[in-house]
Amino acid sequence: MDNQFNYRHLYYFWVVAKEGSMSKAAERLNMAVQTISAQVHILEKSLGFLLFKPAGRGLALTEAGNTTLDIANQIFLLGEKLPELLQDAARNPRLKLTIGVSDGLPKLVTREILQKVIAQSIRLVIHEGEFEDLLADLALHRLDLILADQPAPLNKNLNLYSEQLNFSEMAWFTPAKWLLQARKKFPKCLNDLPVLLPTNHSKVRLNIDQWFNKHGITPHIVGEFEDSALLKTFGSGGLGVLPAPDCIKNDLKSNYGLVKFGDCDGVYEYFYAIRAEKKIVNPLILSILQNTVQ
């Protein structure tokens, strides 16, 4: 790519791709067809790829063109939202923090991590989702921070940085209906009790499975859940016993009626903050890191 690339050329390409022809794009932009064509040609020369190919009376995107369109959509659709975002910022001058929370991270842990900044006068926006989707949003600066149960994968192209906030040993919890049976001959009782587990997307699941093997347990699994809150909700309803971080045992008892009955010794869940490289760091992110990093 040479230094002739600029966003004006990309914008003309974007309009042509949306309209399907040079003539329609020229009409929309109130410009000469030759001018639009020349601008798109400059972009193709700058990128080193053809972006369009003839298709009947119009144009079709090449493979490189489709990739370029995906990126242009992100750029210009965000640009179209700029007036709305500015108006919103003017109405709400408070500091804003946009956080992505991995769906495998316990919600009670999320609350503990964020409660210090929640007490401040801020506008907090939280998105929950799949870990890989959140990483993509962070790389595009749609998020300020990700909270997850695993660090970002090593990828020098993404410039993402993971910091371990804290960790907790896992323990076993049960609703009242299974309490007496759960406390007999632990951990062998897990062969007979109904067990609820996180799915394999959770980083801690592999370690729990290894813990079962270590203790010679073939668990009677009746449910697997991606969402940690849903896992606890089904547990509180009496469906089965479940593993959870020991650090939230008081909340599990008061909010879900789940009682600890044994340790998942040697199995730990780790909690990470993941951020993108930026020259200006949101002061709220610094507050989270300073208050929770171990």
What is the pTM (predicted TM-score) of this model? Answer: 0.62
Q: What is the pLDDT of residues 251-292, one digit of tens each?
A: 999 999 999 999 999 999 999 999 886 644 667 777 777 665
Q: Establish if 251 belongs to a structural domain.
A: yes
Q: Establish if 157 belongs to a structural domain.
A: yes
Q: What is the pLDDT of residues 108-158, one digit of tens each?
A: 888 888 876 666 667 788 898 888 899 888 888 888 899 999 898 887 667
* Residues 217 and 281 grouped into a single domain: no
Is residue 58 pLDDT above 90, yes or no? no
Q: What is the CATH number of the domain that holds 102?
A: 3.40.190.10
* Residues 48 and 117 grouped into a single domain: no
pLDDT of residue 122: 72
pLDDT of residue 215: 95
Give percent above pLDDT 90 in the chain: 48
Is residue 64 pLDDT above 50, yes or no? yes
Q: Establish if 161 belongs to a structural domain.
A: yes
Q: Establish if 243 belongs to a structural domain.
A: yes
* Residues 131 and 277 grouped into a single domain: yes
* Residues 151 and 287 grouped into a single domain: yes
* Residues 160 and 282 grouped into a single domain: yes
Q: What is the pLDDT of residues 223-254, one digit of tens each?
A: 999 888 889 999 999 999 999 999 999 999 99
* Residues 172 and 131 grouped into a single domain: no
* Residues 14 and 72 grouped into a single domain: yes
| Confidence band of 68 (pLDDT split at 50, 70, 90) | very high
Please give the residue range of the domain that contains residue 233: 168-268
Structural domain total, the chain:
3
Q: Which amino acid is at 51?
A: L
* Residues 114 and 237 grouped into a single domain: no
* Residues 287 and 162 grouped into a single domain: yes
* Residues 147 and 282 grouped into a single domain: yes
